Amino acid sequence: MHYKYDKIGAMLSNKDKTYIPEGFLLSAGEAAIKKPGRKDIALIYSATEANIAGAFTTNRVKAAPVKLDIEKTKSGKGQAIIVNSGNANACTGRKGMQDAAETASLTAKNLKIKPSLVYVCSTGVIGMPMPMEKIKAAIPVLTANLGRASLRDIASAIMTTDTFPKAIAKKIKIKNRTGTMTGICKGAGMIAPNMATMLCFILTDIAIEKRALSKALKDSVRKTFNRITIDGDMSTNDTALIMANGMLGNSEIKENSASYKIFKNALDEITYELSRLIVKDGEGATKLITIEVEGAADEKEAEKDAFSVANSNLVKTAVYGNDANWGRIMAALGYSGIKFNEEKVSIHLGNIKVVNKGIGTGKDAEANNYLKNNSEVSILINLNKGSASAKVLTCDLTEEYIRVNADYRT
Amino acid sequence: MHYKYDKIGAMLSNKDKTYIPEGFLLSAGEAAIKKPGRKDIALIYSATEANIAGAFTTNRVKAAPVKLDIEKTKSGKGQAIIVNSGNANACTGRKGMQDAAETASLTAKNLKIKPSLVYVCSTGVIGMPMPMEKIKAAIPVLTANLGRASLRDIASAIMTTDTFPKAIAKKIKIKNRTGTMTGICKGAGMIAPNMATMLCFILTDIAIEKRALSKALKDSVRKTFNRITIDGDMSTNDTALIMANGMLGNSEIKENSASYKIFKNALDEITYELSRLIVKDGEGATKLITIEVEGAADEKEAEKDAFSVANSNLVKTAVYGNDANWGRIMAALGYSGIKFNEEKVSIHLGNIKVVNKGIGTGKDAEANNYLKNNSEVSILINLNKGSASAKVLTCDLTEEYIRVNADYRT
């Protein structure tokens, strides 16, 4: 049960609905977009209009629903999200845009709300027309079943090559009231450099101003979803949406207030833990790798270096093979585009210093053992140049990644 | 016998030494730097001082011999190259620089030539001290055996994870004389974006001016070795050296002459064919993939887009799986950083148009068959934006790549 995260206060299971925030109703169904017998469509509905904010893929090729939602988020308002897996509705031209808009308007009609309040998300194969007859048939059923699905059901319905559903929740005290914040996401491949094939829905009953909500999401995403990478590919469909319906009844949180800080910390925890789950479930991954670059001139440099190492197939396969081949880390730093003095670099694998002033310390055997005995490993690089740092999460590269991606459509 | 290339005039074998250019003597030995029983050190010697030019890795982390050779090429003169596999002499600090310089001076002493005329190349594991006792013991043996090795012996001695030796030669008519140009190289992993773990030695008896030689190499490398990629990693050791000893006795070729054109065309052929061999022998590769981007605003754009597609693990695994998943190609174009209009893009796999104006043509099944039935496949992308184009070679990504690189040092 990977999606249980006791340490931040969540205990999610089919029987436990206490982590669905107040006023949210969930529904999941089988539209046979994917193989029959698997959940592949879901509806998230708030009993009242909510404030909403979004973060989206920076790929120039954007799926139709992404283009639609980018427009919708400008209002800062929303009440429902309809999401399908199995088909990305990307590279589908004008027909794709019509299909996404029709999905929103049909859902709105069934829910008896304004179409502008319905967001659409899709994930799956690119370039195939949406099976609209199946979507149309599913919408009334989803609407009728609202309130019957668990967080796990939603997390399962949005999976593509994910091997486990991902959700995480937290109770948050805002003054004298206790609200709930819950994140559901899917990931797996194509997670880089800016939140690739990822869908994430964060729901909360805490009342927060539109602008504060938007700022909080943007800041959180920058340091979490935008700092993970599976294979360096970036998807056309990435979307993170946060809905705050205010049903807790607290007075609306404003930017820079004490409550904002509490809200933001909780959101950071949730997006960071979801990021970790996504990387842990990277296609074929056996190890989660944290790459931290310290001593850079600025954060951007540190981030660029960390991504260069994180996206190196040679580094990723070395970690998979429990081989403390730090030369590949040095090489990846060397082609990152960032200037540094080779003779000042130090590298740690876990607590073991393998490179000092650019030269090996002779502790490779010890470091090999560290890699062998841990499923979560850390690479710490110090450029000894400045004082900025950045942390990127990735996973190892394995035969299973090849199998999953060579067979994805077959 | 992958290194036979009849079509450009070469017939290389152990018995056929007619493709060793006039005045060059070769020697190969076993220094036990790698596993015992494998050739791992070689010496290339010209009976007379030759003009020489070089192209080197652009990785900021440069191996000691690379730093040494960059300095040496400034003179434009050389007479010998000593090369070892098994150890890259990279990230080895001052000791590494001393070792490289000592290797050059000991070789010079044995050959009775000036140390400045001896070039040193290394390939293999990064970060290990050079086994200098073994190198020192090998140099007199190599010197004594000069003339006894074939092109194949040299090509074999420089291999790391290569599965076959790579050499190619050509007879070239310059006015009334027929000269020889021969290229030997090794490749395998880390071949991108600028001639990664690659060593290449091109030998010719044709007389050509220093400046013309340098220009010819630079121009050839830009469109061949610098446009191939195996895994997006770039090595610390890449070196291409060309030696022209003038033993043919032709009058020195000058830039922009008719003979220069002939020389340059031959060099282009040799570097292109060696590039193809390197990619064909990419770690674990089963397919050679040519990616051509047309209709770009300028060549740089076209190259950047082609590399974005060539380095996409998702595209590479799809080709391996015979899956015409053009959505992954569109996604890779979308994150390349180059602006384009999605609705103008067309994509061909071989002769099959799979995308027209950004949308699938429904010929995926046909394209799957094309991938299935060919070990050399082409992806042609037209941005329909401008008139520039660029071609990049890569290979598919397979389970074998993972195995080779997870086990490289063990």
Q: Write out pLDDT tens, residues A321-374.
A: 999 999 889 989 998 989 999 999 999 999 999 999 999 999 999 999 999 999
Write out chain A residues lying below 8 Å of B358, CB-based. 91, 93
* pLDDT given for residue A233 in this prediction: 65
From the CA of A15, how many Å to the nearest CA of chain B? 38
Look at A235 and B331 and tell me if their CB atoms are within 8 Å.
yes
Look at B60 and A312 and tell me if their CB atoms are within 8 Å.
no
* pLDDT given for residue A8 in this prediction: 38
Distance CA B384, CA B241 (A): 38
From the CA of A207, how many Å to the nearest CA of chain B? 36
Query: In chain B, which residue's Cα lies nearest the Cα of A90?
Result: B327
Residue of A94, A308, A317 best to disrupt the B interface, most CBs of B under 10 A: A317
At residue B60, what are phi and psi to the nearest 5 degrees? -65, -30
From the CA of A374, how many Å to the nearest CA of chain B? 16
**CA nearest to B317, candidates A310, A286, A196, A401:** A401
From the CA of B265, how many Å to the nearest CA of chain A? 31
Query: In chain B, which residue's Cα lies nearest the Cα of A404?
Result: B317
State both tokens at B310.
Answer: 């060539």
Active site residue A197: yes
Write out chain A residues lying below 8 Å of B311, CB-based. 232
From the CA of A371, how many Å to the nearest CA of chain B? 12
* pLDDT given for residue A200 in this prediction: 96
Write out chain B residues lying below 8 Å of A397, CB-based. 313, 402
Look at A61 and B317 and tell me if their CB atoms are within 8 Å.
no
Residue of A56, A58, A60, A161 best to disrupt the B interface, most CBs of B under 10 A: A60
Look at B127 and A330 and tell me if their CB atoms are within 8 Å.
yes
Look at B190 and A321 and tell me if their CB atoms are within 8 Å.
no
From the CA of A294, how many Å to the nearest CA of chain B? 18
- Across the interface, of B59, B330, B405, the residue whose CB is closest to A318 is B405
Q: What is the mean pLDDT of chain A?
A: 89
Query: In chain B, which residue's Cα lies nearest the Cα of A318?
Result: B406
Write out chain B residues lying below 8 Å of A231, CB-based. 313-314
Low-confidence ranges of chain B (pLDDT < 50): 1-11, 14-15, 190-196, 410
Per-residue pLDDT tens over the stretch A253-311:
999 999 999 999 999 999 999 998 888 887 778 999 999 999 999 999 999 999 999 98
Domain A288-406 in this protein, CATH class: alpha beta
* pLDDT given for residue B58 in this prediction: 82
Look at B126 and A320 and tell me if their CB atoms are within 8 Å.
no
Percent of chain A beyond pLDDT 70?
92
From the CA of A97, how many Å to the nearest CA of chain B? 13
Please determine, for residue A11, whether its predicted confidence score (pLDDT) is greater than 50: no
The domain spans of chain B are: 6-280, 288-406
Residue of B57, B59, B60, B235 best to disrupt the A interface, most CBs of A under 10 A: B60
SS3 sequence, chain A?
A: CCCCCHHHCCCCECCECCCCCCCEEEEEECCCCCCCCCCCEEEEEEEEEEEEEEEECCCCCCCHHHHHHHHHHCCCEEEEEEEEEEECCCCCHHHHHHHHHHHHHHHHHHHCCCHHHEEEEEEEECCCCCCHHHHHHHHHHHHHCCCCCCHHHHHHHCCCCCCCCEEEEEEEEECCEEEEEEEEEECCCCECCCCCCCEEEEEECCCECHHHHHHHHHHHHHHCHHHEECCCCECCCCEEEEEECCCCCCCCECCCCHHHHHHHHHHHHHHHHHHHHHHHCCCCCCCEEEEEEEEECCHHHHHHHHHHHHCCHHHHHHHHCCCCCHHHHHHHHHCCCCCCCHHHCEEEECCEEEEECCEECCCHHHHHHHHHCCCEEEEEEECCCCCEEEEEEEECCCHHHHHHHHCCCC
Look at B312 and A406 and tell me if their CB atoms are within 8 Å.
no
CB pairs under 8 A between A and B: 206
Residue of A89, A91, A286 best to disrupt the B interface, most CBs of B under 10 A: A91
Per-residue pLDDT tens over the stretch A92-115:
999 999 999 999 999 999 999 999
- Across the interface, of B91, B313, B340, the residue whose CB is closest to A330 is B91
* pLDDT given for residue B399 in this prediction: 86
CATH architecture of A6-280: 4-Layer Sandwich (3.60)
Query: In chain B, which residue's Cα lies nearest the Cα of A197?
Result: B331
Please determine, for residue A38, whether its predicted confidence score (pLDDT) is greater than 70: yes
Amino acid at B358: G
Strand partners, A87: A123, A125
From the CA of A275, how many Å to the nearest CA of chain B? 21
SS3 B82: strand
For A330, half-sphere exposure in the C-beta direction (CA atoms, 13 angstrom radius) is 32
Residue of A402, A403, A407 best to disrupt the B interface, most CBs of B under 10 A: A402
Distance CA A5, CA B96 (A): 49
Look at B402 and A125 and tell me if their CB atoms are within 8 Å.
no
Look at B402 and A397 and tell me if their CB atoms are within 8 Å.
yes
Look at B317 and A91 and tell me if their CB atoms are within 8 Å.
no
Write out chain B residues lying below 8 Å of A409, CB-based. 323, 325
Look at B342 and A61 and tell me if their CB atoms are within 8 Å.
yes
From the CA of A318, how many Å to the nearest CA of chain B? 5
**CA nearest to B64, candidates B121, B19, B20:** B121
Residue of A190, A346, A368, A405 best to disrupt the B interface, most CBs of B under 10 A: A405
Contacts of A207 (CB under 8 A, 6+ apart): A244, A246, A248, A249, A250, A251, A252, A253
What is this structure's pTM?
A: 0.81
pLDDT band at A409 (very low <50, low <70, confident <90, very high): low
Look at B330 and A397 and tell me if their CB atoms are within 8 Å.
no
Distance CA A89, CA A199 (A): 14
Look at A334 and B127 and tell me if their CB atoms are within 8 Å.
no
Look at A321 and B355 and tell me if their CB atoms are within 8 Å.
no
Write out chain B residues lying below 8 Å of A236, CB-based. 327, 330-331, 334
Per-residue pLDDT tens over the stretch A158-175:
988 788 889 999 999 999
**What's the complex ipTM?**
0.76
Look at B327 and A359 and tell me if their CB atoms are within 8 Å.
no
Choosing from A143, A197, A239, A271, the catalytic residue is A197
Choosing from B73, B107, B197, B204, the catalytic residue is B197
Look at A334 and B60 and tell me if their CB atoms are within 8 Å.
yes
Contacts of A256 (CB under 8 A, 6+ apart): none
Write out chain B residues lying below 8 Å of A408, CB-based. 318, 321, 323, 325
- Across the interface, of B235, B314, B355, the residue whose CB is closest to A331 is B235
**Cβ atoms B96, B130 nearer than 8 A:** yes
Q: Judging by DSSP bridges, how do beta strands B199-204 and B239-244 pair with one another?
A: parallel
Look at A327 and B355 and tell me if their CB atoms are within 8 Å.
no
Write out chain A residues lying below 8 Å of B235, CB-based. 331
**Cβ atoms B350, B378 nearer than 8 A:** yes
Write out chain B residues lying below 8 Å of A328, CB-based. 126, 233
Amino acid at B32: A
Query: In chain B, which residue's Cα lies nearest the Cα of A319?
Result: B406
